[in-house]
Chain A
Amino acid sequence: MTPLLQVKGIEKLYGARIGCADVTFDLYPGEVMGIVGESGSGKSTLLNCLAGHLVPDAGQVIFDTRANGPVDTVTMSEPERRMLSRTDWAFVHQHVRDGLRMSVSAGGNIGERLMAVGDRRYGDIRDKAIDWLGRVEIEAARVDDRPTAFSGGMQQRLQIARNLVTGPRLVFMDEPTGGLDVSVQARLLDLLRGLVREMGLSAIIVTHDLAVVRLLADRLMVMKDGHVVEAGLTDQVLDDPQHAYTQLLVSSVLQV
């Protein structure tokens, strides 16, 4: 099986300071990988390098494209990369304001990616938008409301719908449950798990919440000071951590 994403020796420097360095891994279709670490550990820098928002100083991010097979997205042309990020890739931001158009209705938000790839039938676009609202558990009647009228949890679900409507194969998520109530988090996690399985999505989730990765991620990468200190099966890393930092991280979690 060809990995969906092959990451080889990714390095990003901020001047003399290391953002992330020497990150290498393969992600296979259907796999969900979590990246954990404290603030400043380089996990968001890594995610942004992978998603093409930052240009790494070294390394390759090879994506198995539908048309041409594995291609290095770091060196591919910008139009190609942007096309990829509107079709096969999705990015769920922690702050919905970065991922939604707050002045556009829920339907318009979901429809944007469809229109961006050339959908020109209003009726179809609207039907798909309503279908997706249902899939993220938002009433169809809210299709013409703006996200500003939605609760935080609904906004995050809308962002997910907007991202998944084109049937991407790889989803990048940056703290998708950050800033939400615990009860809302649980609902979102359940939803994400369902969608990941139904759509056969691969996902890379950056979070500092170990409970989130335990429920969502198959695999885990632990980062510290820009480096991956430990990687493996999620429950193995959490239950039998090998690295000093991971042991500290796991033992620091409050038990409920």
Chain B
Amino acid sequence: MSAYNFAYLDEQTKRMIRRAILKGLAIPGYQVPFASREMPMPYGWGTGGVQVSAATLTPEDTLKVIDQGADDTTNAVSIRKFFEKTAGVETTEETEKATVIQTRHRIPEAKLREDQIIVYQVPIPEPLRFLEPRETETRKMHSLEEYGLMHVKLYEDISQHGAISTAYAYPVKVCGRYVMDPSPIPKFDNPKLEMDAIQLFGAGREQRIYAVPPHTRVVSLDFEDYPFEATKADHPCDLCGAEDSYLDEVIMDDAGNRMFVCSDTDYCRSRREAGHMGRLAEENAA
């Protein structure tokens, strides 16, 4: 595929995106507009993340792509193949071995390192959007740090459900300044947003890039009397027995039997290889 420039995008475009990334890193949580390109995939399939990854990848990098924590779903497989073809980079399913991780809706369970970059696919970057439809107004609210509206959303949650029911895309305040949508990761992952790796967020359709540099303070918004809680299904993984990982619920038959499994497939596999076993591990193996 020598007809393609490295990682599909031309160098000028990658430069433009890198400038946006650098600006984003310089102003943590601030949404930097960028000239999003048409990518050979539909919007909603990670066009923003792919462009950020394309601008980030070097020939020496090892890429991992996950979708809802899994390496083997259509979206993850397609994007991995896309970069194998257009950039010729190595790919991996192991979090440990990856230098660039593109993700949709999860942060891996394994702690990320300083030499890693995680790229999030973002559908709607504006956390204030559902309450304030005017872009001119939300920009002004960000620039003047008027974030009362964000708490209105949490207030509505509590008044309707008795608790903050927002379970994903839970708003955070970055570095004491900008309120940011962490993309639709479960709120279980919110505490992990304070990490050693570089975090980049790309929204293709909305044409926004933002970033959180390593070791940056990221606080989940809450009320004093309704503090933030990182919740997950109260269950161990039925395959690897892990009690500390985020779980997917899988319906197994018409009788309502179900199982809980790690959403991070690499984490689950590595635990099982290390000999950990869950409730249904044996029969599944059989």
Does A113 lie at the interface of the complex (its beta carbon under 8 Å from any beta carbon of B)? yes
B224 partner, pick from A101, A113, A120, beta carbons under 8 A: A120
Q: Mark A162-206, 1 if CB is under 8 A from B, else 0.
A: 000000000000000000000000000000000000000000000
Asked if A115 and B159 sit within 8 Å, CB to CB, the answer is no
B:222-269 near A, CB below 8 Å: 223-226
Asked if A105 and B156 sit within 8 Å, CB to CB, the answer is yes
A82 to B149, CA, bound (A): 14
A134 to B283, CA, bound (A): 62
Asked if B148 and A112 sit within 8 Å, CB to CB, the answer is yes
Does B146 lie at the interface of the complex (its beta carbon under 8 Å from any beta carbon of A)? yes
Q: Mark A35-52, 1 if CB is under 8 A from B, else 0.
A: 000000000000000000
Asked if A112 and B225 sit within 8 Å, CB to CB, the answer is no
If A78-B144, A104-B131 touch, does A120 touch B155 (CB 8 Å cutoff)?
no
Give the bracket for the number of chain A residues in contact with chain B.
20 to 34
Asked if B159 and A120 sit within 8 Å, CB to CB, the answer is no
A133 to B149, CA, bound (A): 20
Asked if B160 and A144 sit within 8 Å, CB to CB, the answer is yes
CB-nearest residue of chain B to A79: B144
If A78-B144, A115-B151, A116-B146 touch, does A126 touch B159 (CB 8 Å cutoff)?
yes
Does B175 lie at the interface of the complex (its beta carbon under 8 Å from any beta carbon of A)? no
Which applies to chain A's interface (DSSP): helix, strand, loop or mixed? helix
Asked if A122 and B158 sit within 8 Å, CB to CB, the answer is yes
A23 to B15, CA, bound (A): 54
Does B35 lie at the interface of the complex (its beta carbon under 8 Å from any beta carbon of A)? no
Which residues of B lie under 8 Å from residue A86 when comparing CB positions?
146, 148
Does A108 lie at the interface of the complex (its beta carbon under 8 Å from any beta carbon of B)? yes
A105 to B160, CA, bound (A): 9
A191 to B176, CA, bound (A): 41
A positions within 8 Å CB-CB of B: 78-79, 82, 86, 101, 103-105, 107-108, 111-117, 120-123, 125-126, 143-144
B positions within 8 Å CB-CB of A: 131, 144-149, 151-152, 155-156, 158-160, 223-226
What would 30 A/B residue contacts be, using CB atoms closer than 8 Å?
A79-B144, A79-B145, A82-B146, A86-B146, A101-B152, A105-B160, A107-B155, A108-B152, A108-B155, A111-B155, A112-B148, A115-B148, A115-B149, A115-B151, A115-B152, A115-B155, A116-B147, A116-B148, A116-B149, A117-B148, A120-B151, A120-B224, A121-B223, A121-B224, A121-B225, A122-B223, A122-B225, A126-B155, A126-B159, A143-B159
